[in-house]
Chains A and B, each alone.
Chain A
Amino acid sequence: MNGPVIHDAYTLPVDDNVNPYAFSVELDGQWFLQKGKMVAYYGQIGFQGIGLGRLDRLVAGSFHSPLHAAEWVVAEGKGKMVLADRAFDVNSYDLDDGNLTIRSGNLLAYQPSLALKQSIVPGFLTLIGTGKFVAASNGPVVFMEPPIRVDPQALVGWADCPTPNHHYDHEYLRGVMGGIRAHTGLGGTSGEEHQFEFVGAGTVLLQSTEDLMEEIAVGATGGTGS
């Protein structure tokens, strides 16, 4: 049996996957990083919380999501950094003057040439601009085209298409039984009465599970640093 591949500071891939669950970033400058997603690094790298200070200008240009500020840090320096998240599948994506919205827990890191904004849909973040970002999904990502209705839990993100709307199966709540169901909750539900509906041109990213990444409550101040 062959031994495992041994990586060192020079053979680690440059901005590419080490294996399906880990991604190596060659850092020379700055990257935005979600807290706790760095598993190892070579070289001189420092991690700075997002707040007032010398990162002010960078944050002003590339980070417009104060609700999420407690979850993000800036990695600064020179070296190679391995990113991973709960052994989920990790992939990098390139945006070329585009926009992509993604579930906040699934985004691991992005280049400061992209700007991060809060999406109108709660729990989602929008990346705008040109650059690379790294995202995780539970199981490989499947790309779909609108028109499509998707389960909210399976949705990872969407690119280039208009913001989705909610869709409810109205049929299910009609009639006598439906009335009882709607008012008392008795009678059970299939769990699939609510979907996100996408229309227009673009791409929808789905993961092959309905297991969500654990979400950090947003809106709290002070973050997890206490």
Chain B
Amino acid sequence: MLAVDLTGDSVKAKNGAMVAYEGDMTFKKRTGGGEGLRGMVTRRLTGEQMEVMEVKGHGTCYFADRASEINLVSLHGEKLYVEAGNLLCTDAALRTGTSFTGLRGSAQGNGLFTTTVEGTGQAALVSHGAAIVLRVTPQTPLQVDPGAYVAHTGNLKQHFQSGVNFRALIGESGGEAFQIRFEGEGLVYVQPSERNTIGGEI
């Protein structure tokens, strides 16, 4: 559960994530992820839809989502890439957008696009089990199971890596056939659990 203290300012949160509040709050539905008409159209087109509300007022607001773990990420101007389903709420000052992810998204069954959060402030991520933060440096690239990936920040290049060989075709696969390989400089958030993915069973 996440407690947010508000003093007249506002946060953007996933629709329906509020479980309780103290004080005066107003909840306003924002269409299409809260970045104007253009963003709304983009989200419709890309399928990376996000139901967002704006919470404004004085007091404390409590958010939760299916008893998942909540992880706070502080952003100082950098960009956070996260799946819309894993984003619980953000400071109103943070800008959200969509970006193309390519093959990784399709392997996760999450579509080809992902949500970006940019600016300075805090964002709350939900994950199944407390997320592990892993640093990637040019010397130590990281491979992540697509089903366990939650989010990442920093200047990272992602490749889709597959260990499929002829043995996979005859049913003796390695079971960990697909990974996302992160190279560069940044942080990757991984959950201790695997979503069901299209590639996950291969």
Contacts and interface: CB of A to CB of B under 8 A. Distances in A.
Interface of A: 1, 3-10, 12, 18-19, 21-22, 33, 35-36, 38-43, 45-51, 53, 70-73, 75, 82, 84-87, 90, 221-226
A49 B187 CA distance: 30
A39 B174 CA distance: 14
Nearest to A45: B143
A224 B140 CA distance: 31
Contacts of A8: 134-137, 140
Contacts of A41: 142-143
A85 B193 contact: yes
Nearest to A224: B201
B143 to A, nearest CB: 5
B142 A42 contact: yes
A223 B171 contact: yes
B50 interface: no
B71 interface: yes
Contacts of A42: 134, 140-143
Interface string B172-202: 1111110000000001101111100000111
A204 to B, nearest CB: 26
B132 A46 contact: no
Main secondary structure of the interface of B (DSSP, over half): loop
Nearest to B176: A47
Contacts of A21: 129-130, 192-193
B118 interface: no
B129 A87 contact: yes
A51 B172 contact: yes
12 contacts: A4-B133, A6-B135, A9-B135, A22-B192, A38-B145, A38-B176, A39-B132, A42-B140, A47-B163, A47-B174, A47-B175, A82-B190
A51 B167 contact: yes
Contact of A40 (B69, B142, B167, B168): B142
A6 B202 CA distance: 30
Interface string B31-43: 0000000000000
B171 A84 contact: no
B171 A221 contact: yes
Interface in B118-147: 128-137, 139-145, 147
B193 A3 contact: no
A4 B154 CA distance: 16
A104 to B, nearest CB: 15
Nearest to B202: A225
A192 B66 CA distance: 30
A203 to B, nearest CB: 26
Nearest to A22: B192
B11 interface: no
Contacts of B176: 33, 35-36, 38, 47, 73, 75
B99 interface: no
A97 to B, nearest CB: 30
Query: Which 6 A-B residue pairs are closest in the complex by CB-CB distance?
Result: A87-B129, A35-B175, A84-B192, A47-B174, A222-B171, A39-B148
B19 interface: no
A72 B175 CA distance: 8
A39 B72 contact: no
A43 B134 CA distance: 13
